[in-house]
Structure 1
């Protein structure tokens, strides 16, 4: 690995984005992060938008750069969307991350992220920066052609893409290549689990339907659970390093899914960055 690659890797580790869930204890753990760290706060039908914005406001109060998730299927109509965007602006947030959300039934006419992005454009209350999700491998229940089309259409309204969890570096690189060939030039943050308990990570991976990634793990190592017990984002990132330093890929950095193991993930990032600083023998 070249010196430049090591510097890039260290930079991305020190400036990683941390995704957290609006659950008890998240605020206390997040205070272990350096001031100014980008922290994204998820949204779910169970907790609702209020829980997301409440934790987001508290995190901003302790010096974080906060990005609340805005779930389309929890927004009732244009008036509700305008109310939320005004509130987001009033709380001092300059960035949102737009997702479809997991609600079985939409609260109104916004059924997916694209419809919400279009709604934001129509009412003219778009935050300064907007992020969207990208899928390196097929979605668990949406046909691949539809996720490709949706990514291309959503990209017109967004400033960056965060990739969904994928354990195969080659799949991630191929997905970025395909997007660039289609003309989608938005910077990509590579989404990866942080330092997570392997049992939890396996459960989450199965729940969100990472079929192709799980098959990759079996092929490479035979036993999925055994691999996940050794999984670190560093391994994947090292394999992606040739693409990271290639400006054609426009990889912007890490997006670490902490599943609220924030302190542990931060410790991993610091220790990994320190190891990368060491000159190899």
Structure 2
């Protein structure tokens, strides 16, 4: 990727953005109603729901013509035998991309205590996955030191095709983190995790729909997220525009957006269409 104008880079990122959804009972219908099949959909894995909800949602969306990226949370998979079954099921559905986080299941379901454990076994299995994502943390992990997370990306780099960052709000910090990762020798392209322009009341309601225990875990984990999304002056538009400007620097290898929708997919798609139109208009706007 050569140097780009910021508006060109922004249009490229917004056009290719992918959406993260939670596997609730209604999400398949919502996606099919409001999101074009050209938008990739990633499906989270929550310990309270089990991996089956993720797999079922992914298979249904793949059958509807979407490019689907299920989250295979390592700590939710019991071991190699279950992993092989999951791979076979996804292969049959035509799924060619996965995202492999460590996950929050405590205790773990079986043999895998980290993403690296599962990635090593996946590498020895025949599988259809042309894209395998791993996690990155420009916003510090709540329980793992930054040096450890950067080292982890180095350890996993040979098993992956790209990095997907957790949700981030600080463009300057993102740029600094990217430079640090590149200096460490991790050259995988990066998809930046950004918060969608979600309605705050609906966001709280979404937390309530994913199960009582899971909701409490979600709220504890994401309390800073709620505060920062609601903070005066924060704008998804402005932040994504800054990420677009960063991505114009080819050395950072920022190649996409991973948008956290919190299942507000109708509003999300309207936002993407508007941002794309504005970016394209800025590219052709007369000077003077």
TM-score, normalised with respect to structure 1: 0.87
**Structure 2 gap ranges (5+):** 208-217
Q: Are residues 275 and 167 of structure 1, via their aligned partners in 2, closer, same or farther at CA, if it must alter by over 3 Å? A: same
Q: Are residues 226 and 128 of structure 1, via their aligned partners in 2, closer, same or farther at CA, if it must alter by over 3 Å? A: closer
The CA deviation at 1:110 is 0.1
Provide the residue aligned with 2:266 in structure 1: 263
Instruction: Give per-residue Cα distances to partners, 1:52-97, cap 9 Å, x unaligned.
Output: 1111111112211011110111111111111111111111111111
Provide the residue aligned with 1:91 in structure 2: 93
Partner SS for 1:155: helix
* Structure 2 contact 139–167 (Cα < 8 Å) conserved: no
Provide the residue aligned with 2:14 in structure 1: 13
* Structure 2 contact 96–128 (Cα < 8 Å) conserved: no
Provide the residue aligned with 1:225 in structure 2: 230
The CA deviation at 1:252 is 0.8
* Structure 2 contact 72–99 (Cα < 8 Å) conserved: yes
* Structure 2 contact 194–240 (Cα < 8 Å) conserved: no
The CA deviation at 1:237 is 2.2
Partner SS for 2:98: strand
Provide the residue aligned with 1:178 in structure 2: 180
Instruction: Give per-residue Cα distances to partners, 1:142-190, cap 9 Å, x unaligned.
Output: 1222212112112221001111011111111111110111111111011
Instruction: Give per-residue Cα distances to partners, 1:24-73, cap 9 Å, x unaligned.
Output: 22112212212232100111111111111111111112211011110111
Matched, 1:207 2:220: yes
Out of 156, 159, 178, the position equivalent to 1:157 is: 159
Provide the residue aligned with 1:239 in structure 2: 242
Instruction: Give per-residue Cα distances to partners, 1:71-129, cap 9 Å, x unaligned.
Output: 11111111111111111111111111101112111111101111111111233446221
Partners of 2:235 and 2:29 lie apart in 1 by 24
Partner SS for 1:183: coil
Matched, 1:4 2:9: no
Partner SS for 1:19: strand
Using CA pairs under 8 Å that are at least 6 residues apart, name the structure with larger relative contact order, 1 or 2. Answer: 2
**Structure 1 gap ranges (5+):** 218-223
Partners of 1:231 and 1:260 lie apart in 2 by 20
The CA deviation at 1:275 is 1.9
* Structure 1 contact 202–225 (Cα < 8 Å) conserved: no
Task: Find runs of 4+ consecutive structure 1 residues off by over 4 angstroms.
Answer: 199-206
How many residues get paired?
A: 270
